[in-house]
Amino acid sequence: MTPDTLHGLLVLDKPAGLTSRAAVDGALRWFPRRTRLGHTGTLDPLATGVLVLCVGAATRLTEYIQRMAKTYRAGVVFGARSDTDDADGQVTATPGAVAPARTQVEEALRTFLGEIEQVPPAYSAAHVTGRRAYDLARRGEEVNLTPRKVTVYAIDVDHYEYPRLGLTVRCGKGTYIRALARDLGERLGCGGYIASLRRTRVGPFDESQAAPLDGERPPLLPLALAVADLPRLDVAAEEAARLRHGRPLPRDGFADGQEVAVFDGGELIAVARADPRERCLRPEKVFGG
């Protein structure tokens, strides 16, 4: 196969100790030279698990996968703090830390549900005056990050025996589990950091589909999975041709600005945006043809 014929999605099981970029570089060995390949959401070097890669035309759909809900299994250690908010940083014991009861932990966790404001870790890819926060932090410069709104859908306690707490967290785009562990420890007054982290699901992609980096490349998954969260519209061949030529498709019934995944015979042919004033869908991304 040539780079021009390789299009789809691949679920990688990222190993610990690698950046997401390094994992993508490792996956390049599975593909011909000049194949377009990118990931859809950074995992810290300490973290393992589901990293969705986009191949070929699928790289135009990364934003939709990035928006999808994610699920993590997290191991938190209480009684200490880390400058990176995880075990890869400099860990310092919290003087006089007192073990919180499980009921206290569960009560504190409930305050992190829903839409919350979260300050990203200083060692993160968040931007500060146009630069990555981790670049500033590594140079010893002060990092002042603005709180941002994130959504946490659910937090379950898997086990707790001080100082170790096991959690399953389901959250939205941009949520830092390191920051959640840090803030939980501060709320309980004992400090806390992430000791282990595994992403088990991103939208419809779960760890059962994830291929190890040192194994053989699995078959690519269809582009349609990248837009699984968008409303779906199936059209006739002549309507598909209209969209592929960049012409709006007469349609109403969608909210202003709503994105719609358009299919022809089961194949994703476009992502279009609704324009209710003109009662049409305007193609934004077109595939195939």
Catalytic residues, which ones? 44
CA pair distance 232, 271, nearest whole angstrom? 10
State the SS3 of the chain: CCHHHCCEEEEEEECCCCCHHHHHHHHHHHCCCCCCEEECCCCCCCCEEEEEEEEHHHHHHHHHHHCCCEEEEEEEEECEEECCCECCCCEEECCCCCCCCHHHHHHHHHCCCEEEEECCCCCCCCEECCEEHHHHHHCCCCCCCCCEEEEEEEEEEEEEECCEEEEEEEECCCCCHHHHHHHHHHHHCCCEEEEEEEEEEECCEEHHHCEECCCCCCCCECHHHHHCCCCEEECCHHHHHHHHCCCCEECCCCCCCCEEEEEECCEEEEEEEEECCCCEEEEEEECCC
Q: Give 41's contacts (C-beta < 8 A, 6+ positions apart).
A: 20, 51, 52, 65, 66, 70, 202
CA pair distance 213, 29, nearest whole angstrom? 10
Q: Are 276 and 252 in contact (CB under 8 A)?
A: yes
CA pair distance 119, 122, nearest whole angstrom? 9
